Amino acid sequence: METFTKILIILVALEHFYILYIEMFAWETIGKKIFAGALEEKLFSVTKGLAANQGLYNGFLGVGLLWSLYMNDKNISLFFLGCIIVAGLYGAYKSSKSIFFKQALPAIITMIFTIIFL
């Protein structure tokens, strides 16, 4: 189960690299499709810089999770998973409930596996 848990950590990291890509490089294309109901179309060009900044932070979360595997440190994994869970809960509360299922829930499941198996 240790290997499976590490794969879960990698998958959560990859999800955040994908979010980085969308928010930093594809905000006005893919981002527009994903967040169509949340923002008026004219706001995507205006918020491009803000989205890129958010994307950078998502990249930090992904790198942190990979670093935790490199360092073989469960506590580092738990810290970054905790950050992702808090961000996902806040996003679900303030923006869209689907963020809970897309961001927080995978991190919660991964955190449980990390606590038990690493």
Sign, Cα dihedral of 66, 67, 71, 73? negative
pTM for the full model? 0.95
Residue 44's domain comprises 2-117
Residues 45-98: pLDDT tens digits? 999 999 999 999 999 999 999 999 999 999 999 999 999 999 999 999 998 899
Neighbours of 44 (CB within 10 A): 17
pLDDT score of 95: 87
User: How many structural domains comprise the chain?
Assistant: 1
Average pLDDT over residues 32-53: 92
Q: Is residue 27 helix, strand or coil?
A: coil
Mean pLDDT of the chain, nearest integer: 97
Question: Which position has the higher pLDDT, 41 or 56?
Answer: 56
